[in-house]
Amino acid sequence: MNQNKIFAMCVNFFRIFPVKKNRVTLIEKLDTGGSGSLYELERECKRRGLPLTFHVIRQADYRMSPSNLLGLVKLFTRKAYLLASSSWIFLNDNFMPMAYMKLSEDTRVVQLWHGMGSFKKFGGSLDLEPWLRQELEDVNKHVDYILASSQSIRDNYREAFIVSEDKVVCVGCPQADYYFRMMKEEARRRTRAGSQAPVMSSHRRKLEEKYPALRGKKLALYAPTFRDDPDKDRELLDHFDFEEFDRRLGDQYCLAVRLHPQIQSSAIPEGVVDLTDYPNIRRLLCMTDLLIADYSSVAVEYSLLARPIVLYAFDEDWYLAKDRNFYFDYRQTAPGPVLHTMEDLIDTIEKEGWDLEKVKAFARLHNEYFDDRNTERVVDFLFG
């Protein structure tokens, strides 16, 4: 019997206890470092003084290892009880144990999702094994609402989560609020400094203290997504010429790498700034001056900042044919130039060959709300 079924059995056992009206469980299946929609929601509920008590189940709680024996005991006992007796459960990813749970009719489940928009295909939009597709469908039978950031992606979410369209609610994405708050803070810093130029934040100063190579330079962040083929993951960074980038662009840019948590193995060369473990991806994006992406939905969030994006898609033909495809035409809707070689990538950055209007159009395709009130709308919808 697998771990998902064991945890579900524990939750089902604790159904003997009544649901607590004000109890909320946040399931952080994908670690966000304490940021993201789950915590934006908690923050807004507390700001309003709603009489809710929040509990969190993290991915780390679920880790099978000798060092986590106490954590597993707590997971299968106290946290299973709290989940079974919660009136609200909020997710940021598909939580597969839910396929085997028998939740109370008094419990409401809301999928906030960890990504914004719908860039590359996922979930039920992929050619899944029949058993996995059925498991995913059984998970989402328990979900009452799936939040989407735009009407234009509603049908994509219906397909990806294998649900009826009425479950997909387009009232905004709470984690988008973080970017608009940070932009307001940046504007206030400029006003106080009497300058139109960016004013360094305390987070940027701390980052420069840890990585002196950043001082006096713009931050270019290379953030490739995972491939579903582990061999492709392992050779991913072999296609990026870090030495040539530094030789030609090092006076202006400090290059940093942040690998997707699902990348199986890809060694970052010695001397390159490795921000894979930087805990708050949203804070990091706000400090980034240029995003080098490929097929990752991180480009959707970054596009809210209306800053340059270039797409280094050296394996585009393979990715579209063998790995995943996209909900919208990749090239027509791309937020920046799609490049296949390091020479083209470096030339484009040297010539600033990006188009911020494409970035803004990409943001509008995936988002309807460009303010810091997304979480307010969500809480209004859920709690009145």
Query: Can you give the pLDDT at residue 1?
Result: 63
**Per-residue confidence (pLDDT) for residue 373, from 0 to 100:** 96
**Cα→Cα distances 167→8, 40, 93, 110, 164, Å:** 23, 21, 16, 10, 6
Q: Using an 8 Å Cβ cutoff, are 271 and 212 in contact?
A: no
Q: How far apart are the first and last CA of the chain?
A: 41
pLDDT beneath 50, residues of the chain: none
What whole-number distance in Å separates Cα of residue 108 and Cα of residue 125?
Answer: 25
**pLDDT tens-digit series, residues 225-284:** 888 888 888 888 999 999 999 999 999 999 999 998 778 667 788 889 999 989 899 999
Q: pLDDT tens digits for 245-254? A: 999 999 999 9
Q: What is the pLDDT of residue 187?
A: 86
Q: What is the pLDDT of residue 264?
A: 66
Alpha-carbon separation of residue 46 from 244, 343, 344 (angstroms): 50, 51, 49
Quickly list H helices, 85-219. Answer: 130-141, 154-161, 176-193, 202-210
- pTM attached to this predicted model: 0.92
**Chain segment 73-83, per-residue pLDDT in tens:** 999 999 999 99
Burial class (CB in 10 A: 0-12, 13-18, 19+), 324: middle
Q: What is the pLDDT of residues 153-195, one digit of tens each?
A: 999 999 999 999 999 999 999 999 999 999 998 888 888 887 6
Neighbours of 51 (CB within 10 A): 7
Question: Which structural domains are found in the chain, ordered by start?
Answer: 3-173+371-383 (3.40.50.11820), 179-366 (3.40.50.12580)
pLDDT computed for residue 186 by the predictor:
86
Give the count of beta carbons closer than 10 Å to the beta carbon of residue 40.
24
